[in-house]
Structure 1
Amino acid sequence: MPRRRIGFWYRLAAVICKPPLVVLINRDWRGMENIPAAGGFITAVNHNSHADPFAYAHYQYNSGRVPRFLAKSELFKKGFVGTMMRGTGQIPVYRETTDALSAFRAAIAAVERGECVVFYPEGTITRDPDQWPMTGKTGAARVALQTRCPVIPVAQWGANELLPPYARKLNVLPRKTHHVLAGPPVDLTRFYDQEMSPDLLQETTEVIMAAVTRLLEEIRGEKAPETPYDPREVRIEQRRRTAAEEAQDALDAHERAVAEAAGEGPSAKPTAAHQAAVHQTAVHGAAAHQAAEVREVREEGQGK
């Protein structure tokens, strides 16, 4: 497949990054025939290592279609890395700011110019204990439905063995193999003429993530869990548990204080004042929990 629109900065990035990648990892690359030769498209890729953007970019670069990644805005600010990110046309994501939606406008513009835009729908490295894809955020679905461009699901495995999730040191020996499998475009036509509601975006995202997960099952030769790991649900449950524990701690502390003040044992019954204090603690905990849930929903609506 002929390369197109590479430019100086991408060629420089390839000169810097490809030699260590070739030395450190073997390649098992499949499905490159599914990468469109022309026109704008999205790839939806699972994320399980800080090294996998480099390893996947190598695959995508060799396909002849250079990738435009969505990446956190901090990487664009200064130094050589920032210069490279800007020069290679990567797309900054400004989280929790008034510019949060600018990344999606830029992604849509890139697709409409005929570029390849890479989405990590999970939004971060997977937190699934067995490194299966998590539930996805809706950004890729939003761009796909608005542009009606092809969405190519891609699964990768192996960079996470070179640099395990959240690790800081490479695990070089024995030499690892980076497996990449790109599938045919995900069929989203049934969603095209519907109102772009949160439910529609969520359903579209689930279809995309299911395609990515099936490809990873093929690479790994095993089945993924029936229900994907949902970090939002885990955080909500952790907050609920923390609020309950704090309320119980407040209850226990107040019971001890009342008993000591009355000169009684630990079995003394709680007073009305004590019950009111416990109730107030529970109310504050519930309010904090609800505010956190609202933030989660707002971020999900922005596709973060």
Structure 2
Amino acid sequence: MNGFFWFLKYIALGPVLRAIYRPWITGIENVPAEGAAILASNHVSFFDSIFLPLMLDRHVTFLAKSEYFTAKGLKGWLMKMFFLGTGQLPIDRSGGKASEDSLNTGLRVLASGELLGIYPEGTRSPDHKMYRGRTGIARMLLEAKVPVIPVAMVGTQELMPVGVSVPRVRRIGVVIGEPLDFSRYAGLEGDRYILRAVTDEIQYALWELSGQEYADVYASSIKATTPSLNR
């Protein structure tokens, strides 16, 4: 469905979003013109997965939670078609074998020379803070031997905060940092201490770009103990 992606980006949806939200971007030269790479982004809004691909010249494939593809009714079908058409791939985040399958899905995208978008926190921030990263991204980049490029989404959290049903009009920004090279850890993708160190370095780069307050716990833990923050 790549044709649908380009149709949305340049004809149906992209021009409208650009006119309304006037998105800006810095550091676009840090994204390679070709070849595989991981775009590691903070995640403060559903709209992150819309505005990041909108601002890049290359197609980006995101790993999206499987619930986006299984909703019922017409709305569910439209959502599924949108995510498939824009290059999203469903993953099961329940852990165990599902996590291994998600890893393999990402590796296949990278093996084909594409850009893979990943949110290291594993879920949207419930309160706009930055949370501890999951180590799956580290294992993936070490196995695929690709660079990881930190990306900070700016302002998307203000578009539809809790209690708001219609997106607000705010200017959106994308800040792309310099690629991070972890080739020094080649062959160590099975070492959990190395995976944690790599993940923390990625999160530190994202924190520097975004300026968010950082909390050294998993966002999913906060959501589990504070249901009111789920959305």
Q: What interval of TM-score do these two structures reach, taking the shorter chain for normalisation? A: 0.7 to 0.9
| Counterpart Cα distance in 2 of 1:233 and 1:72 | 17
Q: Aligned residue for 2:77? A: 79
Higher relative contact order (CA 8 A, sep 6+): 2
Deviation at 1:195, TM superposition (A): 5.2
Q: Is the 8 A contact 1:154 1:215 kept in 2?
A: yes
Per the alignment, residue 189 of structure 1 pairs with: 183
Q: Equivalent residue for 2:8?
A: 13
Distance 2:49 2:122 in 1: 13
- Aligned runs of 1:16-35 on 2, under 5 Å? 16-35=12-31
- Whole-angstrom CA distance in 2 between matches of 1:134 and 1:93: 21
Q: Which residue matches 1:59?
A: 55
Secondary structure of the residue that 2:55 maps to in structure 1? helix
Determine the C-alpha separation between the residues in 2 that align with 1:141 and 1:40. 15
How far apart in 2 are the matches of 1:232 and 1:71? Answer: 15
User: Residue 301 of structure 1 corresponds to which residue in structure 2?
Assistant: none
- Within the candidate set 140, 152, 173, 1:155 is matched to 152
The structure where helix makes up a greater share of residues is 1
Checking the alignment, whether the CA contact within 8 Å between 2:131 and 2:214 is kept in structure 1 is no
Asked if structure 1 preserves the Cα contact closer than 8 Å seen for 2:138 and 2:189, the reply is no
* Unmatched tracts of structure 2, length 5 or more: 71-75, 227-231
1:1-304 correspondence to structure 2 within 5 Å: 7-14=2-9, 15-60=11-56, 64-77=57-70, 79-96=77-94, 98-128=97-127, 131-164=128-161, 166-170=162-166, 172=168, 175-194=169-188, 196-217=190-211, 224-225=212-213, 228-231=216-219
Query: 1:19–1:73: structure 2 CA closer, same or farther, 3 Å change rule?
Result: same
| Contact in 1 for aligned 2:129/2:214 (Cα 8 Å) | no
Task: Name the CA distance, whole Å, in 2 between partners of 1:195 and 1:76.
Answer: 31
Q: What is the CA-CA distance between 1:194 and the residue it aligns to?
A: 2.5
Q: How many residues align?
A: 219
Task: State the SS of the aligned residue for 1:54.
Answer: helix
User: 1:151: Cα distance to partner?
Assistant: 0.3
Aligned mates of 1:232, 1:85 — CA distance in 2: 23
Between structure 1 and structure 2, the one with the greater Rg is: 1
The CA deviation at 1:76 is: 2.5
User: Residue 92 of structure 2 aligns to which amino acid in structure 1?
Assistant: Y
Aligned-residue offset at 1:227: 5.1
- Equivalent pair of 2:142/2:187 in contact (CA under 8 Å): no
Shift of 1:127: 3.0
CA contact (8 A) 2:64 2:88 kept: yes
Structure 1 residues 167, 152: CA separation in 2 closer, same or farther (over 3 Å shift)? farther
Distance across 1 between alignment mates of 2:219 and 2:80: 30
Q: Which moved more, 1:202-211 or 1:119-128?
A: 119-128
Secondary structure, counterpart of 1:33 in structure 2: helix
Structure 1 moving runs of 4+ over 4 Å: 224-227, 232-236
CA contact (8 A) 1:42 1:118 kept: yes
Alpha carbons of 1:123 and 1:233: their partners in 2 closer, same or farther (altered >3 Å)? Answer: closer
RMSD: 2.5
